[in-house]
Structure 1
Amino acid sequence: MPHNKLTLMPGRIEILLPEGSCLTDIENERPEQLIPFGCRSGACGACVIEVLDGAASLGEPDPDERDFLEDLGRDDGSHRLACQCRLAGAATVRVAQQ
């Protein structure tokens, strides 16, 4: 199965995940919590990330995710809920500042 690279900033931490993996799967690859996850269903906002490169590799946000990001004031197009992203190519992200 092909793997894709997710790079987490600031530290340039590179993680290989199988094609189509949800970003919550990074918890299976690394012992430390690199992205905070709460509900894992797009309802809590704990996993807001800023996409620095490779937005197309994370799929399109659905209307519910867009609405929730708007409620959080993160509707500028560069933010996503990590739990709603499926990796289909290389991407670089960082945990959004609260």
Structure 2
Amino acid sequence: MKHTLTLMPDGVEVALAQGSPLTDIEYETSEPLIPFGCRSGACGACVVEVIDGAEALGERDPEEADFLEDLGWADGNHRLACQCRLLAAATVRVVDQ
């Protein structure tokens, strides 16, 4: 089963397999839509703001929450794209670093 990930502000829609990390978008498009460096939640390059569908990205684990807080994104609306898994349709915006 695939779900739609929408990237704002351009509204680009990409279908990803259920349970895929958002950084798997690189396999579905030729453009680097979500930057990333490590895939392990240690670099902070892939911070996204969740616009819609927060529940579709699974729970933030304590390590992700702590790292996001260290980066200044403790509000709960931000995630590391490499750490959350797409479980249903969601809309995100890549954060300018």
**Band of TM-score, shorter chain:** over 0.9
> Is it true that 1:50 corresponds to 2:43 in the alignment?
no
Gapped regions of structure 1 (runs ≥ 5): none
User: CA RMSD for the aligned pairs?
Assistant: 0.6
Matched residue count: 97
Which letter maps to 2:59? E
What corresponds to 1:9 in structure 2? 8
Report how far residue 5 of structure 1 moved. 0.4
Name the amino acid aligned to 1:92.
Answer: T
Tell me how far 1:24 sits from its aligned partner.
1.4
The equivalent of 2:61 in structure 1 is 62
Q: Distance in 2 between matches of 1:97 and 1:56?
A: 23
Provide the C-alpha distance between the structure 1 equivalents of 2:53 and 2:84, rounded to a whole number of angstroms.
Answer: 12
Deviation (angstroms), 1:97: 2.3
Cα distance, 1:8 vs structure 2: 0.2
- Partner of 1:18 in structure 2? 17
For 2:47 and 2:21, locate their aligned partners in 1 and report how far apart those are by CA, in whole Å.
14
TM-score, with structure 2 as normaliser: 0.98
Residue deviations 1:38-65, cap 9 Å, x none? Answer: 1110000000000000000000010000
Counting only pairs closer than 5 Å after superposition, residues 70-89 of structure 1 correspond to structure 2 as 70-89=69-88
Structure 2 unaligned blocks of 5 or more: none
- Percent of aligned pairs with the same residue? 69
**Which portions of structure 1, spanning 4 or more consecutive aligned residues, are displaced by more than 6 angstroms?**
none
Equivalent-residue separation in structure 2 for 1:29 and 1:84 (angstroms): 18
| TM-score normalised by structure 1 residue count | 0.97
User: 1:7, 1:25 → 2: CA distance?
Assistant: 13
Match of 2:96 in 1: 97
